[in-house]
Homo-oligomer: A and B are copies of this chain.
């Protein structure tokens, strides 16, 4: 019976992150992450998703995440969960809202039901997405039993939601993954 869990960002990502030039521009942040999501397919480290935590005001990168479900055999390792955890470890706090500056979670695809539920506990003040739920579902990914008014549920908790940043470019990565026969690892349906 296992009692220890360990996961690390892939080595290619630890190298690639050095190419990020800090920018508060959301399109620039998303462009960087879309490249990361494409590389995650190429390096076969997991599904076609990337996320990061940035300082809202400066665009400074606090932590990165990619989907590691298949390479680590852990269904919770969606890109958002990895990025939030790495950010909390970097800050040394389970609440990213406990201290300034305010932080943003940027993700190449709108969060699934699990990641949506994780966001209020994380302490980020903003969530920015590229591809939408509809784009993910169009290639067969299941976003889970997320409330229809999920954006409002976050806004009600003072978390700003911005969707569709470079949506077409982000969705193109999802389609490329499908076209090359990528595994739909979390598509358990009713």
A interface vs B, CB < 8 Å? Answer: 1-9, 13-14, 17, 61-64, 69-70, 72-76, 81-82, 84-86, 88-90, 92-95, 97, 112-118, 120-123, 142, 144-147, 150, 153-154, 156-158, 185-186, 188-190
Contacts and interface: CB of A to CB of B under 8 A. Distances in A.
Nearest to A4: B8
A117 B89 contact: no
A146 B117 contact: yes
Given A95-B185, A117-B114, A150-B145, A5 B3 contact: no
Interface of A is mostly: mixed
A2 B74 contact: no
25 contacts: A1-B17, A2-B63, A3-B8, A5-B6, A5-B7, A5-B89, A6-B6, A73-B92, A73-B94, A74-B89, A75-B121, A75-B123, A76-B81, A76-B118, A95-B188, A112-B121, A113-B116, A113-B117, A114-B118, A117-B146, A121-B144, A145-B153, A145-B154, A147-B147, A157-B190
